[in-house]
A and B are shown apart, each in its own frame.
Chain A
Amino acid sequence: MSEYRGCQLPEDLYYDLDYVWLRPGNDGLFTIGVTDPAQTMGGRILSVHIKKTGKTLLAGRHVATLESGKWVGGIPVPFAATIVERNEALLADPHLINVDPYGAGWIARLRPEDPEKALTGLSTGGPATTALKQWIDRYDVECMRCSD
């Protein structure tokens, strides 16, 4: 796990190098969430809307919308996919994104339309860490992790 300006950057995840991380599973599904620097920039998340399971999304469309007191943003899917599962616990407690963005704060599980090409355009490992550090500098983010 890399860390930069207080932001945790797991090296085993895949990133769109903006807000989103993805974790491929052994079942062919991808879990999607937002990065530690992105949750910091958003502030304390007060509400989350996640689209319904079974919904098919084009690449770039929002799987979820997050809202804090100072920010509203959509969470785009990097590839065309169907929503298989939503994190119901997150809908009940949106603050989970701030507390545990890579764990309990996951947003949804996706089935990619074309599994062979799902990771195309995403970054991981050292190159992703380098690019995410540049993202953190670009937005001038100092990460803070909420404890509750």
Chain B
Amino acid sequence: MQDIGEAFAHDHRRLEQALAASGSHVQAGHWEAAAAAFAGFRDGIERHMAVEEQVLFPAVEKGAETPLTAILRKGHRDLRVFFDEIDDALSARDAEEYGRIAASMRALLERHDEKEESELYPAAQTQLGADAAAVAARLAD
């Protein structure tokens, strides 16, 4: 049985690999493959963020937003703008723009994921208790 931290951290690593695959295709000039890989990354991270927003954040907030969840929600908003900008760069087949945006996005993801893994997931695991395994399983739905 996976706990919240284990399942979500594993998903972070899987998503990092999907994003890296998109970048490799861009470097090789394989734009259709890059777009397909990025679409897969985006589908996966949207599902990941949805579970966090719908289950984990409310679990630790207990009715009142905290500075931690406010910052993490802001991170999700910023990431979604970066996703749109990456889609624009892929449509324009602009490798320079893709590289610049992807670098910013990776830096944001690195800091965001670290905060989730060190602060959010342990708190959510405590609050969710016996329901944690079912929540972790939603990442694979």
* Residues in chain A within 8 A of chain B (CB atoms): 18, 41, 49, 60-62, 65, 67, 70-74, 76, 138-140
- Among A72, A139, A140, max chain B CB count under 10 A is at A72
Q: Are A139 and B81 in contact (CB under 8 A)?
A: no
Contacts of B78 in A (CB 8 A): 73-74
CB pair A139 B108 closer than 8 Å: no
Contact between A139 and B104, CB atoms less than 8 A apart: no
A70 with B81: CB separation less than 8 A: no
Q: Is the CB of A138 within 8 A of B65?
A: yes
Contact of B111 with A49 in the complex, beta carbons under 8 Å:
no
In chain A, what residue has the closest Cβ to B84? A61
Cβ contact within 8 Å between B108 and A72: yes
> In the bound complex, do residue A71 and residue B81 qualify as a contact, i.e. CB atoms below 8 Å apart?
no
**A62 and B81 form a contact (CB under 8 A):** yes
B111 touches A72 (CB 8 A): yes
Given known A-B contacts A72-B107, A74-B104, A139 and B85 have beta carbons under 8 A apart = no
By a CB distance below 8 angstroms, the chain A residues around B74 are: 18, 73
Q: Which of B81, B100, B107 contacts A60 (CB 8 A)?
A: B81
Once the chains bind, are A67 and B71 in contact (CB under 8 Å)? no
Interface size class of B (residues with CB under 8 A): 10 to 19
Residues of chain B touching chain A, judged by Cβ–Cβ distance below 8 Å, are 65, 67, 70-71, 74, 78, 81-82, 84-85, 100, 104, 107-108, 111
A67-B107, A139-B71 are known; give 11 further A-B pairs, CB within 8 A.
A61-B81, A67-B104, A70-B111, A72-B107, A73-B74, A73-B78, A74-B78, A74-B82, A74-B104, A138-B65, A139-B67
Write out the residue numbers on chain A whose beta carbons fall within 8 Å of the beta carbon of B70.
138-139
State in angstroms the CA–CA spacing of A41 and B70 once bound together: 12
Most chain B CB within 10 A, of A70, A74, A138, is at A74
A97 to chain B, nearest CB (A): 16
Point out the residues of chain B lying under 8 angstroms from A72, CB to CB.
Answer: 104, 107-108, 111
Contacts of A67 in B (CB 8 A): 104, 107
A65 CA to B79 CA, complexed, in Å: 12
A144 to chain B, nearest CB (A): 17
Of B67, B84, B104, B111, the residue contacting A140 (CB under 8 A) is B67
Q: A138-B67, A138-B70, A140-B67 are in contact. Are A65 and B81 (CB under 8 A)?
A: no
Q: Which 4 A-B pairs have CB atoms at the shortest separation, nearest pair first?
A: A72-B108, A140-B67, A72-B107, A65-B104
Q: A70-B111, A138-B67, A139-B71 are in contact. Are A49 and B82 (CB under 8 A)?
A: no
Bound Cα distance from A8 to B5, whole angstroms: 39
Which A residues are in CB contact (< 8 Å) with B84? 61
